[in-house]
Chains A and B, each alone.
Chain A
Amino acid sequence: MVAIVTAEDIAMRYGTMSILKGVSFALEAGESLSLIGSNGAGKSTLIRCLLSLEPITAGRISLFGREIQNLKPSELRSSRCRVGVVFQEHNLVPRLSVLSNVVHGALGRNTQTFGSMISGITLWSHIIAGSAHRERAMECLERVNLADLAHRRADTLSGGQSQRVAIARALMQEPDLIIADEPAASLDPIAGEEVMGLFSELCREAGVSLIFSTHNISHAVDFADRMMAMKSGKISIDCPTGSVDLQALKAEYA
Chain B
Amino acid sequence: MRRAAVPPRFGNRPISGILAIILFLLVSAWCFDGSGFSITQLLGSSEYLLRFLREAFPPIDEHRLTFDQFHRYWLALIETFQMAFVGTLLGLVIGFILALFASRGLMFESRRSNLLQWSVKMLISLFRTVPDLVWAIIFVMVVGLGAFAGTLTIMVDTIGFCGRFFAEEMEDVDRSSAEALSASGARRFDIVFAAVVPAATPGLITTSLFAFEKAIRSSVVLGLVGAGGIGLELQSLMNWMAYDRAMVIIGMIFALVLVVEQLSTYLRKLVMKNER
Residues of A within 8 A of B (CB): 51, 53, 76-85, 87, 89-96, 100, 104-105, 107-111, 117, 120-121, 123-125, 155, 166, 169-170, 173
Task: Find chain A residues with CB under 8 A from B181 CB.
Answer: 104, 107-108
In the complex the two chains form, what is the Cα distance from A91 to B184 in whole Å? 11
> Which B30-86 residues have a C-beta within 8 angstroms of A?
none
List chain A residues, Cβ under 8 A from B194. Answer: 93, 96, 100, 104, 107, 123-125
Name which of B160-168, B185-193, B238-246, B254-262 contacts chain A: B185-193
A-contacting residues of B (Cβ < 8 Å)?
174, 176-177, 179-187, 189-191, 193-195, 198-199, 201-202, 276
Chain A residue nearest to B275 (CB atoms) is A95
The answer to whether A93 and B184 touch across the interface, beta carbons within 8 angstroms, is: no
- In the complex, the number of residue pairs spanning A and B with C-beta atoms less than 8 Å apart equals 95
The list of the 10 closest CB pairs from A to B, nearest first, reads: A108-B185, A81-B185, A80-B185, A107-B186, A90-B176, A77-B185, A85-B183, A108-B184, A124-B194, A93-B177
CB distance from A166 to the nearest CB of B (A): 7
Set of chain B residues within 8 Å of A51, measured between Cβ atoms: 183
Of A81, A93, A169, the contact of B199 (CB 8 Å cutoff): A93
Known: A90-B176, A91-B177, A91-B180. A107 touches B187 (CB 8 A): yes
Given A121-B190, A124-B194, does the pair A94, B177 have CB atoms closer than 8 Å?
A: yes
Is the CB–CB distance between B195 and A105 below 8 Å? Answer: no
B178 to chain A: closest residue by CB: A93
The 9 sampled A-B contact pairs (Cβ below 8 Å) are A81-B185, A85-B184, A90-B176, A95-B201, A95-B202, A96-B198, A107-B186, A125-B194, A170-B184
Chain B residues near A173: list those with CB within 8 A: 184-185
Chain B's interface: helix, strand, loop or mixed, by majority?
A: helix
B177 adjacent to A78 (CB under 8 Å): no
Closest to B194 in A: A124
Nearest-CB distance from A208 to chain B (Å)? 14
Extra pairs beyond A51-B183, A91-B176, A105-B184 (16, CB < 8 Å): A78-B185, A80-B183, A83-B183, A85-B183, A87-B179, A87-B180, A89-B176, A92-B180, A95-B199, A95-B201, A100-B194, A104-B181, A107-B190, A111-B186, A117-B187, A173-B184
Which residues of chain A are within 8 angstroms of B189 by Cβ–Cβ distance? Answer: 120
Q: A77-B186, A78-B185, A81-B184 are in contact. Are A155 and B276 (CB under 8 A)?
A: yes
Q: Which residues from A are CB-within-8-Å of B177? A: 90-94
Residues of A within 8 A of B185 (CB): 76-83, 107-109, 111, 173
Task: Report B3 CB to chain A, min CB distance, Å.
Answer: 41
Chain B residues within 8 Å of A108, by CB = 181, 184-186
Give A168 Cβ to nearest chain B Cβ, in Å: 13
Chain B: CB-nearest residue to A155: B276
CB distance from B200 to the nearest CB of A (A): 9
Query: CA separation between A104 and B180, bound complex, in Å?
Result: 10
Task: List residues of chain A with CB within 8 A of the CB of B193.
Answer: 121, 124
Q: How far is the CA of A110 from the CA of B189 in the complex (A)?
A: 12
Q: Are B190 and A123 in contact (CB under 8 A)?
A: yes
How many angstroms from the CA of A96 to the CA of B181 in the assembled complex?
Answer: 14
Contact A83 B198 (CB under 8 A): no
